[in-house]
């Protein structure tokens, strides 16, 4: 009965839903953003280091050195995570062009062009006569005028997560124009005698001209601030993601797919990651500016407080298989599956135990993340632990990752350990039941 229902659900619900997430534009967003993760992870470490002095004794030489040079220490972060959309657009354009079997590099460059055209460059106006006259008498003002930059400038604001949604749309627009011109032959074609490489260089002119003219008209010449417009449009989406109910829905969806053995996190992440990144970047920006951290539910919150040991917070189950198993199979599984689980890889257990389509283990697999999410949400809301501000590599052991992601807050490591204990407690009765079942099967087999 259970088998029939689950097979029906898998064929008609989970697999078709999962395929939706494979739609080429969604896939391009996912792959493009994932390609920027190394930049985000490494550069957010500078953020953690810059604010270490908050956690260290004030009289240490190291503390004083960091405090004195905080602006400089943060510069690599400013050129990396702080302007992450600049990088993501390149990846999204590349992936989307590749999915149409077009040249990836051309798609990426065209996307970057479309995106940068949405940001209006400006110059600092020259000081007028009255200001200059005042500056002659006031050395402070004179020194200040000397620091003003010359030349053309662009604001970094919309190069970061604030520009992410416009960045995504720019990449879509650019690559679709590229595809349209290639497919419809609406391009400058050369007679066949012209060498192929020369002909190609002309072919690229048409989509570039269309992208340049259309976007320049909207943003540069008509002066429509598409970023402000988009910001208003997605604001409810972003704040909506930062709520306990959204966290629980996301967990339930992720677990739903995993229960059928489909990588739920990667599917849910395809849709939620732009929001998660916006939340995280708002947090890191506030942190770098020394302001209060606005959001709770950025991706690291899930990583370090909900999916400890892998989706389903299975670290507890891994510990139980390792230490409390009576069946031979459980013991063998515990030995091989525990170490990967420390590094948040739990496919060996999901498919090995298995948890997939296992009516006993699916119950705690769904309950544990929700309980952990609620505990972590309350602890974070009450400021018992810092909010997440940095992205730590997801393969770090839980307490270390939690410590780094919260800007070196040791209480986050403690919370992580408490949640591991919670995971053990919730999984225990179900583990007992399942392990006994394995044991009975093993003894029956031996008797036969």
Partner 1 sequence: MRVLFVCSAGMSSTIAVNALKEEAKKNGIEIEVLAVGTQEFVDEVKNGWDVAMVAPQIRHRYSYLEEAAKEANVPCALIQPQAYSPLGGSRLLAQAKTLFEQRR
Q: Which residues bind partner 1 (CB under 8 A)?
A: 15, 18-19, 21-22, 31, 34-35, 95, 98, 258, 261-263, 266-267, 329, 332-333, 336-337, 340, 345-352, 354, 356, 395
Closer to partner 1 at the Cβ: 291 or 395?
395
Q: In the bound complex, what is the minimum distance in angstroms from residue 196's beta carbon to partner 1?
A: 22
Q: Least distance from C-beta 168 to partner 1, angstroms?
A: 18
Kindly report the number of other CB atoms within 10 A of residue 276's CB atom. Answer: 24
Neighbours of 202 (CB within 10 A): 13
Choice between 242 and 299, CB closer to partner 1: 299
Q: Which is nearer to partner 1, 15 or 436 (CB)?
A: 15
Neighbours of 181 (CB within 10 A): 21
Q: What is the smallest separation between the CB atom of 266 and partner 1, expressed in angstroms?
A: 5
286 class by beta-carbon count within 10 Å (0-12 exposed, 13-18 middle, 19+ buried): middle
Q: How far is the CB of 386 from partner 1 (least distance, A)?
A: 27
Q: Which pairs from 395-400 meet CB under 8 Å and 24+ separation?
A: 395/343, 395/344, 395/345, 396/343, 396/344, 397/342, 397/343, 398/304, 398/308, 398/309, 398/315, 398/344
Beta carbon of residue 276, minimum distance to partner 1 (angstroms, whole number): 17
- Smallest distance, Å, CB 264 to partner 1? 8
123 DSSP assignment = E
Whether cis (ω within 30° of 0) applies to the bond prior to 354 is yes
Closer CB to partner 1, residue 176 or residue 347?
347
* Cα–Cα distance measured from residue 177 to residue 172, given in angstroms and rounded to the nearest whole number: 8
Residue 122 parent element (H or E): strand 122-123
Instruction: Identify the bridge partners of residue 152 per DSSP, sorted by sequence position.
Output: 123
Residue 30 CB partners (closer than 8 Å, separation 6+): 21, 266, 269, 270, 273
Closest listed residue to residue 114, CA positions, set 208, 31, 179: 208
DSSP state of 138: -
Nearer to partner 1, 262 or 319 (CB): 262
- Nearer of residues 53 and 107 to partner 1, judged by Cβ: 107
For the bound state, the minimum distance from the C-beta of residue 65 to partner 1, rounded and expressed in Å, comes to 37
Q: Are 304 and 416 in contact (CB under 8 A)?
A: yes
Task: Please report how close the Cβ of residue 416 comes to partner 1 at its closest, in angstroms.
Answer: 20
Q: How far is the CB of 357 from partner 1 (least distance, A)?
A: 8
Q: Which is nearer to partner 1, 66 or 252 (CB)?
A: 252
Residue placing its CB nearer to partner 1 in the complex, 265 or 377: 265
Q: Which is nearer to partner 1, 19 or 183 (by Cβ)?
A: 19
How distant is the alpha carbon of residue 414 from its chain centre? 24
β-bridge mates for residue 359, sequence order? none
User: End-to-end CA distance of the chain, in Å?
Assistant: 27
> Cβ distance 406 to 413 under 8 Å?
no
């Amino acid at each position: 009965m259970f088998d029939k229902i689950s097979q029906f659900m898998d064929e008609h619900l989970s697999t078709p839903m999962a395929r939706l997430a494979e739609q080429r534009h969604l896939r391009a967003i996912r792959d493009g953003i994932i390609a920027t993760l190394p930049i985000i992870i490494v550069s957010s470490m500078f953020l953690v280091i810059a604010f270490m002095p908050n956690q260290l004794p004030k009289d240490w030489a190291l503390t004083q050195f960091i405090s004195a040079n905080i602006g400089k220490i943060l510069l690599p972060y400013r050129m990396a995570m702080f302007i992450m959309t600049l990088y993501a657009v390149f990846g999204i354009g590349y992936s989307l062009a590749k999915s149409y079997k077009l040249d990836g590099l051309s798609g990426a460059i065209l996307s970057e062009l479309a995106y940068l055209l949405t940001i209006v460059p400006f110059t600092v106006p020259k000081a007028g006569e009255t200001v200059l006259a005042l500056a002659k008498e006031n050395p402070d003002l004179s020194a200040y005028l000397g620091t003003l930059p010359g030349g053309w400038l662009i604001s970094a604001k919309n190069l970061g997560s604030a520009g992410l949604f416009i960045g995504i749309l720019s990449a879509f627009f650019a690559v679709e124009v590229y595809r349209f011109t290639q497919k419809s032959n609406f391009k400058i074609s050369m007679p066949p005698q012209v060498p192929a490489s020369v002909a190609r260089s002309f072919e690229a002119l048409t989509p570039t001209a269309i992208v340049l003219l259309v976007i320049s008209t909207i943003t540069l010449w008509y002066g429509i601030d598409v970023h402000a417009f988009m910001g208003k449009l997605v604001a409810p989406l972003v704040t909506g993601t930062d709520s306990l109910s959204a966290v629980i829905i996301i967990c339930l969806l992720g677990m739903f797919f995993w229960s059928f053995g489909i990588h739920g996190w990667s599917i849910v992440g395809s849709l939620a990651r732009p929001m998660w990144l916006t939340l995280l970047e708002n947090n890191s920006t506030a942190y770098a500016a020394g302001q209060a951290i606005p959001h709770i539910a950025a991706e690291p919150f899930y990583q370090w407080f909900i999916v400890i040991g892998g989706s389903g917070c299975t670290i507890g189950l891994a510990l139980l298989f390792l230490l409390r198993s009576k069946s031979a199979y459980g013991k063998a599984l515990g030995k091989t599956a525990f170490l990967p689980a420390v590094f948040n890889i739990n496919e060996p257990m999901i498919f090995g135990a298995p948890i997939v389509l296992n009516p006993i283990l699916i119950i705690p697999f769904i309950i544990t993340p929700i309980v952990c999410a609620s505990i972590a949400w309350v602890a974070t809301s009450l400021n018992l632990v810092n909010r997440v501000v940095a992205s730590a590599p997801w393969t770090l052991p839980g307490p270390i990752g939690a410590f780094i992601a919260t800007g070196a807050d040791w209480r986050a490591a403690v919370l992580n350990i408490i949640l591991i204990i919670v995971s053990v407690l919730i999984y225990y009765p179900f583990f007992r039941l399942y392990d006994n079942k394995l044991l009975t099967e093993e003894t029956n087999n031996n008797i036969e």
